[in-house]
């Protein structure tokens, strides 16, 4: 199955099973969370016309009778009186514009005579250097839509509206486990044939960043009975994410569990790395079965599990941002599967990291992201391909 088709099916399922719980949080708790409500502007922004510069607020028509005496001084945070006819007002950046003034001249474009009267040295137009009321947004206009992932900028927009608490999608409860008889935990001394479990900390951290509540079920041996026992331990789970035990010829306990539960989907994806990615249900709980190889687990999480989770959280923009980059190497052997190459961007060109094995994480940590090579395609150095930056998906 093509990656796009797998994603389409996953997203259709996800949209049919949205996480509906939400909670009110303060802005400082809202970074990275998904906005659960459409928000409109509460106030005009700016709330009143104010000066963009340090200078003098005046009426354009009065410039015919310069110099103008200074009738008042307005700092940011003060409330000015109306502008006296034939005068100007000393204003500083952010100061409200006195009623009747229709432009601001920068102080460096003014000459002051001995009596402190002001002449403009350049011509002005109506509204110069004034930030009009409601220029940024009008009260009642759409501000942020439900499904927006709140980032520091969005939080600033909310703060500028005087909004201090927002409704966000509750953290989905995601159970995470690593399967495999060979896996040893942190602090262990490796026995024969054992390796340390690295997938779980990668996936747990990725899930944290997506705003999930991770329920860590730890390492589970390749034994469907133990696996089932682990999965029935915790209540309220909304999704299970596992790694390993899904490739054909493997001890294959995740696959066995899903087949037993009656449903396995999306076998053998045309993706490299990540072919054995699996989706199914344990009872009513969806399970995303990621491959065991660390490179494959990473790529399938980013390309399939992440958008699936975001879709269930109601996020509008699901797909990782793809940006065109110039390849700094050629690719002469077309693959049968869509391929994700670990590359580093040097001087704006993608450089291929040496070790592209699905079993290694080290080249992924050295990479800036993934270069997407469609199935059946070759390319030359200098050709442009889509690039997915790790920064963008983390």
Q: Which residues bind ligand AMP (CB under 6 A)?
A: 178, 180, 182-183, 195, 197-200, 243-247, 250, 291-294
Check residue 294 for interaction with Mg ion (CB under 5 A): no
Among the listed residues 244, 290, 350, 371, the single contact to Mg ion using CB under 5 A:
244
Cβ-in-10-Å burial (0-12, 13-18, 19+) of 21 comes to exposed
Please choose which of Mg ion, ligand AMP, none residue 293 contacts, taking the beta carbon within 5 to 8 angstroms, the exact cut-off set by kind: ligand AMP
Nearby residues of 39 by Cβ (< 8 Å), 6 or more positions away: 142, 143, 144, 145, 158, 163, 166
User: C-beta of 16: minimal distance to ligand AMP in Å?
Assistant: 28
* DSSP state, residue 28: G
Please, what is the minimum distance in Å from the beta carbon of residue 248 to Mg ion?
Answer: 11
How far is Cα 11 from Cα 308, in angstroms, rounded to an integer? 6
Out of ligand AMP, Mg ion, none, what residue 314 binds, judged by CB under 5 to 8 A for its kind, is none
Q: Which of 266, 125, 288, 326 is nearest to 206 (CA)?
A: 288
Taken in order 27, 32, 37, 40, is the CA torsion positive or negative? positive
Tell me the number of residues near Mg ion by CB under 5 A. 4
Beta bridge partners of 324: 386
Q: Is 374 helix (H, G, I), strand (E, B) or coil?
A: coil
Partner in contact with 197, chosen from ligand AMP, Mg ion, none, beta carbon below 5 to 8 Å by kind: ligand AMP
Instruction: Decide: 200 and 183 in contact? Cβ < 8 Å.
Output: no
Q: Fill in the DSSP letter of residue 323.
A: E
Residue 320 binding: pick among Mg ion, ligand AMP, none (C-beta 5-8 Å cut-off by kind): none
Helix (H, G, I), strand (E, B) or coil at 365: helix
Q: Kindly tell me which of 183 and 271 has the beta carbon lying closer to ligand AMP.
A: 183
**CB closer to Mg ion out of 104 and 254:** 254
Paired strand residues for 167: 24
Question: Least CB distance from residue 256 to Mg ion, whole Å?
Answer: 12
Closest CB to ligand AMP among residues 241, 341: 241
Q: Which is nearer to ligand AMP, 80 or 291 (CB)?
A: 291
158 binds Mg ion, rule: CB under 5 A: no
Instruction: Tell me which residue of 20, 25, 48, 52 sits closest to 158, measured CA to CA.
Output: 25
- State in angstroms the smallest separation of the CB of 250 from Mg ion: 5
Task: Give which of Mg ion, ligand AMP, none residue 183 binds (C-beta under 5 to 8 Å, depending on kind).
Answer: ligand AMP
Q: Which does 198 bind (CB under 5 to 8 A by kind): Mg ion, ligand AMP, none?
A: ligand AMP
Q: Please name every residue paired with 137 in a beta bridge, in sequence order, or none if there are none.
A: 45
Closest contact distance (angstroms) between CB of 296 and ligand AMP is 8
In the bound complex, what is the minimum distance in angstroms from residue 356's beta carbon to ligand AMP?
Answer: 16
According to the binding rule CB under 5 A, does residue 180 interact with Mg ion? yes
Residue 80 binds which entry of ligand AMP, Mg ion, none, CB below 5-8 Å type-dependent: none
Q: How far is the CB of 322 from ligand AMP (least distance, A)?
A: 28
- The three-state DSSP-derived secondary structure of 54-116 is CEEEECHHHHHHCCEEEEEEECCCCCCCCCCCCEEEEECCCCECCCCCCEEEEHHHEEECCCC
Residues that bind Mg ion (CB under 5 A): 180, 244-245, 250
């Amino acid at each position: 199955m093509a990656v796009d088709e797998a994603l389409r099916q996953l997203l259709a399922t996800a949209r049919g099973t949205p996480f509906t719980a939400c909670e009110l949080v303060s802005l400082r708790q809202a970074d990275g969370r998904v906005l659960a409500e459409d928000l409109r502007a509460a106030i005009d922004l700016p709330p009143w016309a104010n000066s963009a510069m340090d200078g003098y607020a005046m009426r354009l028509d009065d410039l015919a009778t310069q110099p103008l005496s200074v009738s008042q001084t307005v700092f940011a945070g003060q409330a000015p009186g109306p502008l006296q006819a034939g005068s100007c007002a000393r204003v500083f950046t952010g100061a409200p514009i006195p009623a009747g003034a229709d432009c601001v001249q920068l102080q460096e474009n003014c000459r002051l005579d001995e009596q402190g009267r002001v002449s403009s040295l350049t011509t002005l137009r109506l509204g110069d250097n004034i930030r009009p009321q409601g220029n940024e947004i009008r009260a009642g206009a759409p501000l942020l839509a439900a499904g927006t992932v709140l980032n520091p900028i969005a939080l600033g927009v909310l703060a500028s509206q005087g909004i201090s608490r927002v409704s966000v999608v509750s953290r989905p409860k995601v159970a995470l486990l690593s399967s495999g008889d060979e896996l040893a935990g942190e602090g262990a001394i490796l026995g024969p044939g054992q390796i340390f479990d690295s997938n779980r900390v990668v996936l747990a951290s990725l899930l944290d960043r997506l705003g999930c509540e991770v329920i860590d079920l730890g390492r589970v041996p390749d034994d469907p009975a133990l696996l089932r026992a682990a999965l029935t331990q915790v209540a309220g789970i909304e999704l299970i994410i596992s790694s390993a035990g899904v490739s054909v010829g493997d001890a294959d306990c995740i696959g066995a569990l899903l087949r037993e539960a009656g449903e396995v989907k999306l076998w053998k994806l045309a993706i490299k790395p990540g072919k054995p990615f699996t989706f199914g249900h344990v009872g009513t709980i969806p399970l995303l079965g990621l491959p065991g190889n660390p490179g494959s687990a990473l790529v399938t999480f980013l390309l399939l599990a992440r958008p699936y989770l975001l879709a269930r959280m109601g996020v509008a923009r699901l797909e990782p941002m793809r940006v065109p980059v110039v390849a700094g190497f050629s690719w002469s052997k077309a693959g049968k599967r869509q391929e994700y190459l670990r590359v580093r961007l040097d001087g704006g060109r993608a450089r291929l990291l040496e070790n592209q094995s699905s079993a290694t994480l080290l080249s992924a940590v050295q990479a800036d992201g993934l270069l997407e090579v469609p199935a059946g395609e070759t390319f030359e150095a200098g050709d442009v391909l889509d690039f997915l930056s790790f920064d963008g998906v983390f």
